[in-house]
Amino acid sequence: MKTIIKSLLAIALLLLALTPAKAQTNSTPVYSPIIEFLSVGSNYVVVPYGVYDLTTDKIGGGLAIGYRLSEYVVPTLRLEAIDGEVFMPQANLTLQVPLHLLQSEARPNGLLTLTPLIYAGAATRLNSANDGTAIGVFGIGASVTLPSGQWYVPDYLLGAYEHWTGGGLDNERVLLGIGWQL
């Protein structure tokens, strides 16, 4: 399994390296489809996060990639590892209600946005213990939007509590992450 993941990462890096770019001159900036995609913006959200399993007292981490269908609905795919167990695919559907705080005429969407959220989904193990059993994932949490505008500063701080059940698990977990809207 590790060789498959390493191969996929190598292919992704090779494709990234082969992305065409123009030479830089004084009048023409460096061009890349990736840079153009990021500068225009999209509905994709990327969230690296840490995990603490309250049931087993173990820590881990993961990466979530979501696509904002609307301000209220975000389907998400996650890859997570905790104590040597890798879980994927995790497919979640997140329902959220953004609350715009500290509104003014200059900032009609508010200075900060607090977003309570709930989600449900399914996961399965990718390690040797994989017996094909689905694991239910149920969570509740919130995110806070950070008003920065700088690409290197995360757009969100996220915290969640979730319950995993099925596949021999009955675990409670806490997640803390940072996110970027691409």
| pTM of the complete model beyond 0.85 | no
* pLDDT for the residue 28: 45
How much of the chain, in percent, has pLDDT values that exceed 90? 32
For residue 133 the two structure tokens come to: 């059993």
The architecture CATH gives domain 42-181: Beta Barrel (2.40)
Domain extents in the chain: 1-40, 42-181
* pLDDT for the residue 24: 47
Q: Which residue has the higher pLDDT, 56 or 37?
A: 56
* pLDDT for the residue 109: 67
pLDDT at 50 over 80: yes
